[in-house]
Amino acid sequence: MTTAAAPPAPLTAAQVSARIEAAVSQTFRDCALENPHDPATLSMSGLGACARRGAYQIARYAPTNPGAPEKRAADLGTAIHAWLLPRLATTLGGRWTSIERDVVLTTAHGRIPGTFDLDTLALAQSEDADAGSTLVDVKSVNRGRFDRVMATGEIFPEHFTQNLGYAVAKTQQGRPVQWAAWLYLCRDTGRTRTLTLEVTDELTALLHARVALLYSYALHPEFAPREERGPGLSVVCDGCVFLTRCYGPTAVPGQSGAQSSLAASDPDVVDGARRFTEAREARLQWERIEKFWALVLADSAGIYTDGEHSAAIGYHRGASRPDQAAMRQLLEQHGIPVPYTRNRPTMTVTLNAAAPPTEENPAP
Q: Residues in the site for ligand SF4, rule: CB under 6 A?
A: 50, 52-53, 226, 228, 234, 236-237, 240, 242-243, 246-247
List, as one string, the DSSP characters of 209-275.
HHHHHHHHHTTSGGGSPP-S--TTT-HHHHT-TTHHHHH-TT-BTTBTTGGGGG--SHHHHHHHHHH
Minimum distance, C-beta of residue 31 to ligand SF4, in the bound complex (Å): 22
Nearer Cβ to ligand SF4 (166/247): 247
Nearer Cβ to ligand SF4 (42/240): 240
Minimum distance, C-beta of residue 214 to ligand SF4, in the bound complex (Å): 12
Minimum distance, C-beta of residue 42 to ligand SF4, in the bound complex (Å): 12
Contact 226, 243 (CB under 8 A): no
| CA Rg value for the chain | 27
Could you tell me how many residues make up the chain?
364
Nearer Cβ to ligand SF4 (38/332): 38
- Cβ contacts of residue 274 below 8 Å, gap of 6+? 351
Minimum distance, C-beta of residue 348 to ligand SF4, in the bound complex (Å): 27
Nearer Cβ to ligand SF4 (264/297): 264
Distance (Å, rounded) from C-alpha 58 to C-alpha 153?
32
Nearer Cβ to ligand SF4 (199/258): 258
Nearer Cβ to ligand SF4 (68/181): 68
Minimum distance, C-beta of residue 62 to ligand SF4, in the bound complex (Å): 14
- Indicate left, alpha or beta for 67 from its phi (over 0: left) and psi (-120 to 50: alpha): left
**Which residue, among 173, 169, 164, 224, has the nearest Cα to 196 in the 3D structure?**
164
Minimum distance, C-beta of residue 262 to ligand SF4, in the bound complex (Å): 10
